[in-house]
Structure formats: structure tokens, C-alpha cells
Amino acid sequence: MTRLLMITTGGTIASGNSRGGGLTPEKNGSEMLPKLKGVQFDVLDLYAADSTDVTPAHWRRLHNAVIENLPEYDGIVILHGTDTMAYTGAVLAFTVDTAKPVILTGSMLPFDEPDSDAPGNIQFAALIAKFAKYPGVNLAFANSVAGGADIIKVSSCEKNAFRRYADFKPERKYRFPEHDGIFPAVVRLTPFTQGTDISRAAENKAGIVIETYGAGGIPDNDITLVISELAKRIPVVISSPCRGGTDLSRYEVGRRALEAGASEAGRRSTECAAVELWLKENQ
């Protein structure tokens, strides 16, 4: 008999509108357990948050719950909202060192809505955990599996809402910070961005992730000077919203970023790069 723990954290998958307003998490895990032969489930309703509200304090509670309970179970299934799934997946992938399956899932429609993808996603995640073919932290969603630190949300309405980013797997693990510490800044480069926008965003931060375009680069204006100055005191990481990641050696604009002292996110998504920067700077 396989023993699995299902941890609920809220999200669309657990949402309803019994109060007559917008959707909000209100369903507990015992109401969403799948029927799976040969599996004994326990449930931990950890918190009930819309994932837009997720902060490092939520990650701490979830991380601790996973670490404390893993020894007692063959695997863990985590129900989570989709909007910040990529951040939570990266946090767990970088901080949970295990060969046991820790499977994240969620849904685009609430569990009780007609044609909801929630029951199917929970069933799929539980099967992935039961057969343990994907060790460590992974996302099981819409009959597809991706590494926890390698996911990006690409749709706010389609049931197949996630894609692999660049087949990234963490090469090292980090200790979860004892205190939240100093957070990194994350900014998106646009043709309207000025150097002062970058410097203000980076003020009193542990570092900055600048999401640029395509393979990555910075424009030939005052942003270059600002990055040169920032890179002398904090990490400056260049990321890309595009699947496949950055390659700053490819174009002159990317080489310009390297010469200014920035580093590239490489195969890390913006979410993954920001999480790793936070963990690294608060060890």
C-alpha cells in the first residue's frame, strides 16, 4: 500500500463563491481526494490562499510541512494556485533534497465547476506520485510533467496552461533561509524603461533580475551605466520571458550586458532566477 500525503494551500482548485462574490479558496482536501487503488491518503490543509497572495512566509510553511512529513510517506501531492506556481515550484526544487516524489498540481477551473480540470489533475498527480517515476519536485498538470524549477504559466484560460521553460534542473540545493532576509528586485525591460527605473528598483535589494527580450541584452543608453554601477555591489541577472532562456554571447546587446557586469539566467526562467537569487543571497 502506497502512502501519500495531500497538502492543500488554496488556489482556484479549491475555490468557490458561496459568499456571493469572486472566487476564493474554501474547499478542503478531504473533499477532493481521488479514488486510487492501492493508495492510502492523508490530508493536510495547510492554508487557503489565492496564490496571488503567496509570500515567502507561505513558502516557509509549505517547505517545513514537506520536510517534516516526507519521512512518513512515499510521496506528497500539493494542491496550489497556478499564478505563482512557478515561484513555489522553484523554491521547493531548490530546497527539498529527496528522491521521493513531491508533486505540485492545480487547475484552471474550481473543483466543483462543470467540466473542471481539477479532478483529472489531482488524479494524474496522485498517479505520478504513486509510481514514483519522477523523483523530487515536479509539476503534474494537464497530463504533462515538468520539473518544479522549469515551469512557466503561458495561459490564463486554457487548461494546458503550463510549459517547460528550458529543461532546467537545479544543480545544487539551498538551505531554506531562517529569516526572509533581503529580497531581490524583478523588473521587466521595455522601450520605455530608463536607468533611473532600474536603480530605484534595486535600492536596498539583495540583487536584481532584469527580464529583457529574446536571447537577452540591454540597450545602448543610460541603463548600461546603471547596470555597471549596480553590478559592483549586487548581483544583476538578465533573464528572458522566452522559452529556451538567455544567451548573452549571441548578440552585441547581450555582450554589452556581460561587459557591464551582469550575468545571464541561462536556462532559468525569470521566476526561477529570482528564487535562486533570493536563496543564494540569504544563506
The residues assigned a catalytic role are: 12, 82-83, 153, 251
**Diameter of the chain by CA atoms?**
63
> Could you tell me if 23 and 16 are in contact, meaning their C-beta atoms sit under 8 angstroms apart?
yes
Polymer length in residues for the chain: 283
- Residues forming beta bridges with residue 104, ordered by sequence position: 78, 139
> In this structure, what are the phi and psi dihedrals at residue 44, rounded to the nearest 5 degrees?
-125, 105
Q: How far apart are CA 267 and CA 236, in angstroms?
A: 16
State in Å, rounded, how far the first CA of the chain is from the last one: 39
Q: How far apart are CA 277 and CA 128, in angstroms?
A: 30
> Could you tell me if 138 and 102 are in contact, meaning their C-beta atoms sit under 8 angstroms apart?
yes
Element (DSSP H or E) covering residue 7? strand 2-10
